Amino acid sequence: MKFNLKEDWNLLSRRAAIFYIVFSIINILTFILLLVNTDVGIIPALIYLVFWQVAIWVYYMFRYKFRKKTKGGEWIDAAMFAVIAATLIRTFFIEAYQIPTQSMEKSLLRGDFLFVSKVNFGARVPMTPISFPFVHQDLPVVGGKAYSEALKLPYYRLPGLESIENNDIVVFNYPKDDDHNPIDKKTNYIKRCVAISGDSLKVVDGMVYVNGKKADVAVHGQMGYTMQTSTAYGARDFEKIDISEVGATGQGQYQLYMSKKNKEDLSKFPGIVDISQKLDAQGPYREIFPHKPMLMPWSKDNYGTIYVPKEGDVLPLTGNNIYIYQDLIKQYEGNDSYQIKDGKAYLNGVVATEYTVKMNYYFMMGDNRHQSADSRYWGFVPEDHIVGKALFIWMSIEPDGMYGGREKGIFSRIRWSRLFNRIH
Cα angle 305, 308, 310; round to 5: 150
pLDDT, greater one: 309 or 42: 309
Position 221 pLDDT exceeds 80: yes
Per DSSP, the three-state class of 61 is helix
> What pTM, to 2 d.p., does this model score?
0.87
User: What span, in angstroms and rounded, lies between the C-alpha atoms of 105 and 83?
Assistant: 34
List the strands of the sheet with 303-307, edge to edge.
213-214, 207-210, 200-204, 303-307
Average pLDDT over residues 296-308: 96
Question: How many Cβ atoms sit within 10 Å of the Cβ of residue 275?
Answer: 17
Q: Which residues are within 8 A (CB) of 47 and not within 5 positions of it... i.e. 6 or more apart?
A: 151
Q: Contact, 99 vs 372, CB < 8 A?
A: no
Question: How many Cβ atoms sit within 10 Å of the Cβ of residue 81?
Answer: 14
User: What span, in angstroms and rounded, lies between the C-alpha atoms of 334 and 338?
Assistant: 9
Q: What are phi and psi of 138, to 5 degrees?
A: -120, 145
Per DSSP, the three-state class of 148 is coil
pLDDT in tens, 140-174: 888 889 898 888 888 989 889 999 999 999 999 99
Position 132 pLDDT exceeds 90: no
Per DSSP, the three-state class of 305 is strand
For residue 209, which of 316, 102, 365 has the smallest C-alpha distance?
365
Position 1 pLDDT exceeds 60: no
Q: What is the pLDDT of residue 3?
A: 66
Q: What is the pLDDT of residue 262?
A: 95
User: What span, in angstroms and rounded, lies between the C-alpha atoms of 321 and 307?
Assistant: 10
Average pLDDT over residues 199-209: 96
**Domains in the chain: boundaries:** 5-90, 312-358
